[in-house]
Amino acid sequence: MTAAAQTEDDDELLAEVVEKSAVGIVAFISERLLLFAVAYAVAGVSGAAAYGFLSVFIRGETISRNLVAGIGDGYTRIVPNVSSSAQQTLMSAGTVGYVCIWIVVAMPVIMFRDRLVELTLLQPRHEAVVVIFAVGLLPFLLLRDLRDMFRALRRIRLAMLVSRVFAPLALLVGVLAISVGGITSSLLNLWVGIVGAVVLLVAIGTWLLFRFTDIRFGSLGSHRGVVQRFLTYAASTTGVAVLELVQRRAVFVVMSVYLSPVVAGAFSLSVVVALTVRWPLSGVNGILPPIAASLYSDGDTQRLHRLYQQTSRLAIVVTTPVFVVGYTYAPELLGVISDAYAQQAAVLRVVLGAQYVATIFGSVGLLLLMTDNERASLLTQVFNAAVALPLMVTFTTGYGAIGLGVAYLLSVVLNNTTELAVLYFRDGLTPFSRQQVYAIALSCPAVYACQVIKSIAGIRVSLVFVSLAVAVYLWFGKRVLLRSVDTRAMRALIAE
């Protein structure tokens, strides 16, 4: 292949990622806004502590969806490379797996609900909510099932709609239904309304799957070799997902055990806000896995390496202003929901730093799985989990919410560093480029300058200054930080 033809192929591949990532980005932003609206509605009607209680169940639902991530990775790795009839068989096998995991999770939660209430910040009156929560996990997991199949088929718009919009929309609809209906806004009634909403959305998602794809539920007895390969891969990646859960999501378990309802609500909201830093990476992660799996299967690791660097560079360049603005106005962002939350601005700033670090490393975890390194990833996560969990407990018991935030940051750094080390030594893939370093170096003085202007001139004047600074950065980014292949992909997106 000539250099010109290679460049053209790279351009087309990056353009596809950028174009389809745009759908994921819009869905991701919609998800953040919906979750922020849920916090605003609950805290505004019932108080800051009420949102803290609700956060325990929202985060519990998030954790349960991470437990089935291995099955979704199995869809992404296997589905693009098999026949239509085999895809239908895999849909049935995967769905059975989701249901089995639901049973494994829900039964202990119901049986030991009194113990769970005793150990966490919940109160005895919440035992009935725990039961409804456990039963209602199934439709949330089925939403994840639909999303994973859509993603494996590269139906990114539908995948993002189901995963990024439907789940938080169910939360908001459930909260609003209780409030508008004049029903007592107890936590039990709120969660009943949420479960009802998500059941309806699962039905809509299933209709979308049957309407816009050729996927149906196939016979489990056919394509045994494909099913065996799928289950073997899913078993390995499920182990990775569970161990990642310990270090990435266990922070919410620690939150529920060691923090008060108000502080837990502030911490949970901080994560909601801080994840906005990942907005470009969230879009990339929606489309990159099946493309990466195809490139790796074809033995084209050089193109995969270039694509990894391109997407990581784009992500960090365009998200740096978001990090700077979020860090500068952390107290005001939390204060929109509650003045009590504004006092935890330092926590939000630390969590923002964690998400910025994660964006620097790009889609390292997904690429590790899409390059058949699931066993090495599993061993890596054993080490990471063994370090992260004691760190979280120790820092939280000693320093409270800020300690938990710092432990969260350290665990993100550890996880991404070890995953990248494995990916580099096995396949030679790295995300770093000179332009990335420039963008990161600019973030520190930008944060300092914005905070100084804010403290001297006040919020209104500082907003004008920050707006001008962002405009200058975007001009500089286009001229210096982005390469020609990046700008061509961006122009293709705008032309769409």
The chain-wide mean pLDDT, for the chain, equals 86
- Nearest of 151, 176, 177, 147 to residue 164 by alpha carbon: 147
Own/partner pairs, 463-467, CB within 8 angstroms, 24+ separation: 466/324, 466/325, 466/328
pLDDT band at 302 (very low <50, low <70, confident <90, very high): confident
Which residue type is seen at 272?
Answer: V
Burial of 470 (0-12, 13-18, 19+ CB in 10 A): middle
Tens of pLDDT along 27-83? 888 999 999 999 998 888 788 888 999 999 999 988 888 788 888 888 888 888 888
Instruction: Give the span between the Cα atoms of 308 and 292, in whole angstroms.
Output: 9
Tens of pLDDT along 322-331? 999 999 999 9
What angle (nearest 5°) sits at the alpha carbon of residue 363, between those of residues 362 and 367? 140
CB atoms within 10 A of CB 397: 13
3-state secondary structure 211-275: HHCCCCCCCCCCCHHHHHHHHHHHHHHHHHHHHHHHHHCHHHHHHHHHCCHHHHHHHHHHHHHHH
Tens of pLDDT along 340-392? 999 999 999 999 999 999 999 988 888 887 787 777 887 888 888 888 889 99
Query: Domain range spanning residue 450?
Result: 3-495
Please report, in angstroms and rounded to a whole number, the separation of the first and last CA atoms in the chain: 29
Total tally of structural domains belonging to the chain: 1
Q: Contact, 101 vs 141, CB < 8 A?
A: yes
Q: Which residue has the higher pLDDT, 14 or 9?
A: 14
Instruction: Give the span between the Cα atoms of 194 and 113, in whole angstroms.
Output: 20
Q: Which residue has the higher pLDDT, 442 or 66?
A: 442
Q: Which pTM was predicted?
A: 0.84
